Each structure stands twice: as C-alpha cells, then as structure tokens.
Structure 1
Amino acid sequence: MREHDYSFHGGLNRAKVGRYLTLVATSISGTVVFVLLSAVDVAKRYGLNVNLPPAILSLVGAGMVYTVLFWTLNRYAWRWPFLNAALKVPDLAGRWSCEGRSLKPDGSVGYTWSATLTIFQTWDKIRVRMKTDQSGSDSIAAALICDDAEGYRLLYNYRNDPNIGEVELRSHLGSCMLLFSKDIQSAEGEYFNGHGRFTFGMMSLKRDHGKGHQ
C-alpha cells in the first residue's frame, strides 16, 4: 500500500497555499532570469563572448521553481515550526504503541489487544498502518481536523487482512476516529468494523519515541 491523499480542515486552505507558491515561484524565477540576463549584458560590454543557453532559462522557469518549492514544502518544510504554525497540520508521522479494548454490546470489555501503529505522512498524503500479532491493516481514505479546543482528530477508513493461518479471522473493512492531544504525544479513539467482522471498541495510543519520522 502507498500513501494516499487526505482532506484537511481547520488550517490554511491548500488552494491558498498553492496560490502563494505560484506567486513566490514567479517572483523567484523572474528575479533569477533578470539577474542572469543582466550578467550577460555586463559581460558583453566588456567584450566577453557569453551566451545563455535556453536550457539554463528553462531550469529557472516559474514551473520548475514551483515544482522544487512544492516538493520541499510537501516533504520537509511543512514541519518547520514557523510554517507549521501557519499551516496547522499536525505532524503525526512515526510509530505509536496501541492498546485496544474490544467491547460487548452492553459496553463491557470483551477482550484486549496490542498493536503497533505507524503513520507515514507528508503535507498532502498519509498512510496509517496497524500491525498486530494476528493481522495488519492499511488506511484507504482519511481526513484530518484541527480542533483548537481539544487537539487534532484523525478519521480514516481501513482494510484489515489476517495473517496466513488465522482461520477464525476474515478480511474486513472498518473505520477509526482518533483524538490526538495538543502536544501530539498520545491519542484516544474508537473503531468500528464491518463487512466481514462486526466488532467495535476503544484504543489508546502513545508515541514511540526514538523511531524518527516516516
């Protein structure tokens, strides 16, 4: 499975970010082209035979500059503190220890389980991978909400596939809603399974420090 797009609510609109990047790319490209052409003119005044190949101008064109800026923002710059404060996109990437509780219809605990949840995240894509001793699941769609009052909410749908040999388990689809703390070090959530396995329950996450970003 690969990372997929996710919707984001509560922060700086992505369309606006794209417009800002376009303006910055146009300004940078125009400035660099002006400097290069001016340098050529100066060189010719001193009798130097200097030519500026079209390939050089294409490398500093607005489209190329935009591509570089977007790649930098998407992979790295969105995590920089001053940009992250404006974008309001929480950095959830990394590994999380998960403790789950499957509930019975009356609300009592049916059984407990443990898992490792790994989040791969860039500015515009995400993937949530959960692994237990019996099965693994991957997100197929997600939405992230910035809640100034409580923290950050991650809602995602997933597909779960049991390990070979787990004859009592079936592949199934499910949904999960997690509320991350404001310091992004823990989370509490609920999950609901269906279309193959009708269970529901609660889960708690704690960030696994020392694993680095994904």
Structure 2
Amino acid sequence: MMLEHEYTLLGGVSRLNIGRYLALISAGVSATVVFILLSSVDLAQRFGIAASLPPSVLSFVGAGTVFSALSWLLNRHAWRWKFINDFLQIPDLSGSWTCRGLTIETKSNPQLEWEGEITVVQSWDKIRVRLRTKTSASNSRSAALIKDGADGWRLFYSYHNEPKIGQTELHAHRGFSEILFNAALTGGDGEYFNGHGRYTFGTMKLERVVSDDN
C-alpha cells in the first residue's frame, strides 16, 4: 500500500512551470525523432532498400509517450541530479534520520526523553515521513516544504500516531511537527504538538544517517 502523499513546495520552481517545460521538451524530442526516422526511411528507399515505418512506431515516439517517460524519470530519479536539483530548488530529505526527542513537562505529563528513527520516502511530487520509537509509530498525512533563505529548509507535516501492541497507557493520536533542516541537510531541529488522544508537545533533534554507499 502506497502511503506517500503530495506535498506543497514554497520557494522552489513552480511544478506548473515544470510541466510546461516538459511539454515543450517532449514536443521537440518527439518531432526530432520522427524527423530522423522518416529521413532514414526516405534515404533507404533512395538506395532501393524496401523500408517502411509502421504507425505504431510513430505512436511510440509521440509527444505524449515522451512526456510520460520524462515525467517518470524526473519524478523518480532526475530531480536528485545536482544540476537539475539546483534548478528545481527541492531539498532531498530522503533516507534515515536519528531522532532524539524531549517531551516538555506539564501538569498532566512529566518530562520525558525519547529516541526514534525517522525515515523519509521522497520523490519530486510526493513524500512520506515515518517516525518509529520503542512504543509507537507515526506516518505523515500532509506536508509542506518552505525555503528559509537564512537558515535552510522548513518541513511542516501533520501525522497520525499508533502505539504498538502492549502499550496500554498510550492512545492513538494526531499531531503536527515543524523541522528546520540546516543548509547542508545533515541535521535539523524541530518541535511537535500532539492532540486528539495525547496532549503533549516537545522538541526533536535530527541527524542524518550516512550509509556506507555514500
């Protein structure tokens, strides 16, 4: 089951404009390929070689097909390529992050330190933020990324949390989190607010987990 959802991007290049650019590029690529194919057939016939171009081939290299292929490539891979990412202005938050949290003490809740792991699944147009701790797990439901020219990138997201089996004192709840990532995207500081089942709030400190492949 796919749990990724769309996210809003503020401060980067408009996705509407990117769609227009892709449409123009697709039309140009399609026209060029069709011209080359037709020229090849014409050249072959001049040399007495029987050659034809089935309509299915022209359909395969049509602008619609090229647009779909370019859109898939951009959404899954190309948006991470440095020269494209520099243009799109989208931070790549995908991967694993260690999380050290602190629940702020209130009259109804004691101060509590906790640890967890955040996994971010991200593409050009979708994202999923999953937090797992020893007692519960949560998944984002909506998100927005905002470019902060002074400090880095801010991620805002709402989430739904479910306690693990056996955690009878905990209740499922919904909440909201704001995380400020540094410009290098190696760490971040955040805050969270819970409600609808667990009325707590606190702070988080994130550090990116660097894999051996990097």
TM range (shorter): over 0.9
Which runs of structure 1 show a deviation greater than 3 angstroms over 4 or more consecutive aligned residues? none
State the superposition RMSD in angstroms.
Answer: 1.6
TM-score using structure 2 length: 0.96
Q: Which amino acid is the alignment partner of residue 188 of structure 1?
A: D
The equivalent residue for 2:145 is 144
Counting only pairs closer than 5 Å after superposition, residues 84-103 of structure 1 correspond to structure 2 as 84-103=85-104
Asked if 1 retains the 8 angstrom alpha-carbon contact of 2:105 and 2:112, the reply is no
- Could you list the runs of 5+ residues in structure 1 that have no partner in the other structure? none
Amino acid at match of 2:95: G
TM-score (norm 1): 0.96
Aligned letter for 1:40?
A: V
The separation in 2 between residues aligned to 1:37 and 1:110, in whole angstroms, is 73
Aligned partner of 1:189 in structure 2 is 190
Count matched residues: 212
1:58 aligns with 2:44: no
The letter for the 1-side match of 2:140 is: S
The percentage of aligned residue pairs carrying the same residue is: 49
Offset at 1:42? 1.0
Corresponding residue number in structure 1 for 2:202: 201
Question: In the TM superposition, what is the alpha-carbon distance from 1:212 to its structure 2 partner?
Answer: 6.5
Gaps of at least 5 residues in structure 2 are none
After TM superposition, give the deviation of residue 54 of structure 1 in Å: 1.1
Write out per-residue CA displacement over residues 5-34 of structure 1, whole angstroms, 9 at most, x where no aligned residue.
Answer: 001000111100010010000000000001
Within-5 A mapping of 1:106-145:
110-145=111-146
Separation in 2 of the partners of 1:148 and 1:181?
11
Residue deviations 1:121-177 (CA, integer Å, cap 9, x gap): 001000000000000000010001111211000000000000011100010000000
Paired AA for residue 116 in structure 2: A
Q: Quote the Cα distance in structure 1 between the aligned partners of 2:137 and 2:54.
A: 53
